[in-house]
């Protein structure tokens, strides 16, 4: 394919910044008013903060408004944050949530249309174009991945194969028979598909795939390198969350792969210090916060995502003018502290995936010894290395020593390391579980 990606909506995606900001301000005012008039949660929050919709006169005035957090969704379960009558709601999604009730979101017909639009832009930015056959291996259901990509690919003018997650043997048959140019799945599930293809004696580099749209879980540049090499494709990062809309909040472009373009006409981003709530300048890393600008059923004001990233307003070489966010470093909830040092699983992934003898399958096991937290990284070795390992112990000792040193250099603390036999760690069909927390919960 050529170098430039197809821009689905050039008017918006290459809009001069001043014009974009005017559009955002107009939509922000409408959103705040809609929330104030239709949702008692928002009205009470704003009354408490002493702000009225009339106080929003500039984009900076957004900072007068209080934040929203995930527990607000749980406390208003299932529909109390909806800003329209249920008769207007055409779709419900949510996140499965490991604890308690799922968090529920709703969409009007316009919301679904806008969502399809941002995903269509995203698929094009990733290298897609009208006429593409597209293999969608994100789960269909309450999770937004499957249906989100589905409507976007249709809107772009592609042919979507709604295969959903799981049944890997069938995925492989369809990839071979239908010859899709594009694929979407979590990065971890894609590796699972690659592994199964090799097991069947197939060469994953010899498919018709040209680009993959990967997200819904944190992943690293090293994982990108692995996916691109294994499948001979461009691996593109897509970001989103159900509370804000689903996939399509932002996407990397095929030509730069340097930050994710935010669909800023629909989602207004901020980055804040997660401790103090203070808004941070461009370039500084902090917690991403989004305000929806067009959503009708489930508008959010200053929603704290729990995801760590930074923002870059510079124009991109692809021609898009929309602000870019950095790859997500991780969720604040997934960060753990070992001997006073903050660690994100992605920092561990970067080290492991750069080692040839290791397979890209790992888990981090946290436990507590006395009052100290301890961390042991479990990582599979490659089949080739496993053969050597079985022949002599020396190789294992050397590899363990080398990886532990690399981890210490990257993290600033020593962590345990267990090399595991190939295919012994659990495989994911959706979001990978990276952390096994065996620490006793102090109540
Ligand atoms: O995961 C939406 C999605 C579907 C995004 C398909 C991309 C592709 P939730 O289930 O609500 O929605 O989970 C949202 O997943 O807050 C992040 O912590 C994480 N996440 C999503 N995309 C990325 C990414 C979907 N590209 C939560 N990199 C978010 C890192 C991501 N983390």
Q: What is the mean pLDDT of residues 331-346?
A: 93
Task: Give the model's pLDDT for residue 2.
Answer: 55
182 CA distance to ligand 1 centroid (A)? 19
Write the pLDDT tens digit of every residue in 245-282. Answer: 999 999 999 999 999 999 999 999 999 999 999 999 99
pTM of the full structure: 0.97
* Mean pLDDT of all residues belonging to the chain: 96
pLDDT band with cut points at 50, 70 and 90 for residue 389 = confident
pLDDT digits (tens, 9 = 90+) for 169-208: 999 999 999 999 999 999 999 999 999 999 999 999 999 9
Q: Which atom of ligand 1 is nearest to the CA of 215?
A: 26
Contact 360/345 with Cβ under 8 angstroms?
no
Q: How far apart are the CA of 239 and the centre of ligand 1, in A?
A: 5
Ligand 1, atom 10, residue with closest C-alpha? 95
Q: What pLDDT is recorded for position 439?
A: 87
* CA dist 33 → 8, 44, 53, 194, 273 (Å): 30, 13, 5, 49, 27
Q: Whole-angstrom Cα distance, residue 49 to residue 404?
A: 50
pLDDT band at 85 (very low <50, low <70, confident <90, very high): very high
Q: Tell me the per-residue pLDDT of 353-376, one tens digit each, with 9 for 90 and over.
A: 999 999 999 999 999 888 888 999
Pairing of strands 286-292, 260-262: unpaired
Most informative mutation of 145, 215, 287, 309 for ligand 1 (most atoms within 8 A of CB):
215
Place of tokens 């593109």: 236
* 443 has a pLDDT exceeding 50: no
Report the alpha-carbon distance of residue 406 to residue 442 in Å, rounded. 32
Q: In percent, how much of the chain has pLDDT > 70?
A: 98
Out of 122, 123, 126, 239, give the residue to mutate to test ligand 1, the one with the largest number of ligand atoms within 8 Å of its CB: 239
Q: Above 70 in pLDDT, residue 98?
A: no
pLDDT (average), residues 32-53 = 98
C-alpha–C-alpha distance, residues 152 and 341, integer Å = 41
């Amino acid at each position: 394919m050529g170098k430039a990606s197809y821009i689905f909506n050039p008017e918006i995606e290459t809009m001069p910044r001043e014009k974009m900001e005017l559009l955002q301000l107009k939509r922000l005012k409408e959103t705040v008013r809609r929330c104030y008039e239709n949702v008692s949660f928002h009205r009470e929050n704003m009354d408490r903060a002493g702000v009225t919709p009339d106080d929003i006169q500039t984009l900076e005035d957004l900072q007068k408004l209080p934040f929203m957090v995930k527990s607000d969704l749980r406390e208003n379960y299932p529909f109390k944050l909806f800003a329209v009558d249920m008769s207007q709601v055409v779709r419900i999604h949510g996140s499965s949530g490991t604890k308690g009730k799922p968090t529920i979101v709703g969409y009007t017909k316009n919301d679904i249309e806008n969502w399809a639009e941002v995903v269509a832009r995203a698929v094009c930015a990733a290298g897609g174009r009208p006429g593409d056959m597209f293999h969608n291996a994100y789960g269909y259901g309450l999770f937004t991945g499957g249906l989100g990509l589905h409507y976007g690919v249709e809107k772009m003018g592609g042919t979507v194969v709604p295969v959903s997650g799981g049944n890997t043997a069938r995925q492989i048959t369809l990839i071979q028979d239908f010859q899709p140019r594009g694929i979407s799945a979590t990065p971890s599930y894609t590796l699972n598909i690659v592994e199964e293809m090799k097991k069947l004696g197939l060469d994953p580099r010899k498919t018709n795939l040209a680009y993959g749209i990967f997200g819904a879980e944190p992943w690293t540049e090293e994982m990108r390198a692995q996916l691109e090499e294994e499948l001979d494709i461009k691996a593109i990062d897509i970001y989103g969350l159900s509370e804000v809309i689903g996939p399509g909040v932002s996407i990397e472009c095929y030509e730069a792969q340097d930050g994710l373009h935010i669909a800023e006409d629909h989602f207004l981003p901020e980055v804040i210090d997660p401790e103090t709530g203070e808004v941070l300048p461009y370039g500084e890393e902090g917690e991403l916060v989004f305000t929806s600008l067009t959503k009708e059923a489930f508008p959010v004001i200053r929603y704290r995502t729990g995801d760590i990233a930074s923002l870059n307003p510079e124009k991109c070489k692809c021609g898009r003018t929309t602000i870019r966010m950095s790859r997500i470093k991780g969720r604040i909830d997934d960060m753990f502290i070992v001997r006073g040092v903050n660690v994100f699983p992605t920092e561990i992934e970067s080290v492991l995936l750069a080692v040839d003898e290791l397979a890209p399958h790992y888990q981090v096991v946290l436990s507590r010894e006395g009052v100290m937290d301890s961390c042991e990284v479990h990582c599979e070795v490659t089949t080739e290395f496993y053969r050597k390992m079985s022949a002599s112990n020396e190789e294992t000792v050397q590899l363990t020593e080398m990886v532990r040193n690399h981890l210490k250099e990257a993290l600033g603390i020593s962590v345990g390391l267990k090399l595991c036999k190939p295919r012994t760690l659990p495989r994911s069909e959706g979001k990978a579980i990276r952390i096994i927390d065996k620490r006793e919960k102090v109540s």
